[in-house]
Amino acid sequence: MEGIAKTTCLLSIHRVYCDRILSGVKKYEFRKRCPEWLRSGCEMVLFSSDAPETLLAMFEVGAILSGTPEEIWQRAGAEGGIDHESYLRYYENQPVAFAFEIRNVRRFAEGNALASIVGGAIVPHSFVLLSAEQVKAIHNCLVCPSS
């Protein structure tokens, strides 16, 4: 199965932002941190931070942008799927901002609980690397590419 050998991580996201990714409105994911292992080509598996914790979508990371929050807004804000005021609140008192380009979005079938795929522990709001077995289980839940 293509993509299983790639580095794949799990990331929580509010459903509203995932919906914007799936609709094509949101082309960059903004984060306060970027793990040193994250590279272009890595896969991000998104799960709902809203209850219940379910798998929503996954995408391949394209370009990784970093800079001050103001610089990143100038470069990616128009395609970030977030209003400027909310963006500024998110980065309040943060000297560095990151934006991950979203490519090759894929959707999960409805009803895939995170715990049933990756184990019992629900993951906090951070990047968590997935094992090869977890990635294989996740790939089996994909329904189709999103446009």
The domain spans of the chain are: 8-29+36-64+101-145
87-114: average pLDDT: 93
* pLDDT for 124: 60
Higher pLDDT, 93 or 126: 93
pTM of the model: 0.88
> How crowded is residue 120: how many other Cβ atoms within 10 Å of its Cβ?
7
Is the confidence at residue 121, as pLDDT, over 90?
no
Cβ-proximal residues to 110 (8 Å cutoff; 6+ apart), any chain: 54
Burial class (CB in 10 A: 0-12, 13-18, 19+), 133: exposed
3-state secondary structure of 100: strand
- Residues 14-46 have pLDDT tens digits of 999 999 999 999 999 999 999 999 999 999 999
Cβ-proximal residues to 112 (8 Å cutoff; 6+ apart), any chain: 54, 55, 141
Burial class (CB in 10 A: 0-12, 13-18, 19+), 5: exposed
100-111: average pLDDT: 92
Average pLDDT in the chain: 88
